[in-house]
Amino acid sequence: MSEFVIVFKGSVPEADVVKGLLESAGIKAFLDSEQMASTLPIAVDFAGDEAGRVAVSSDDEARALEVIAAAKKG
């Protein structure tokens, strides 16, 4: 059974874009902030610039990091 790992930390809007990017590459991704927002909505508002975190299966970690790096290069 694989675990989940954080592959991106940034603002919630940035994390949402990264999640979409990964999903368009066929990688199942989750916004860690979604769980926080459902249980502690005020915590997300005060969490700052790294409130958005994207998690993927540890099996997909290397590929996800490659996709993110390629997107940053433009």
Tens of pLDDT, residues 22-38:
999 999 999 986 554 54
Question: Which domain covers residue 64, as residue numbers?
Answer: 4-73
Question: Looking at residues 4-10, what average pLDDT do you find?
Answer: 94
Q: For residue 16, what are the contacts with CB-CB under 8 A and spacing of at least 6?
A: 31, 52
Question: Looking at residues 11-17, what average pLDDT do you find?
Answer: 92
* Token digits of residue 61: 């970690």
One-letter amino acid identity for 63?
R
Question: Looking at residues 61-72, what average pLDDT do you find?
Answer: 96
Q: Which band of pLDDT confidence, cut at 50, 70 and 90, is reported for residue 48?
A: low
What SS3 state is found at 18? helix
* Token digits of residue 10: 């940034």
CATH of the domain at 45: 3.30.70
Task: Report the domain count for the chain.
Answer: 1
pTM to 2 decimal places: 0.76
* Token digits of residue 16: 């949402």
Question: Looking at residues 35-60, what average pLDDT do you find?
Answer: 67
Average pLDDT, the chain: 83
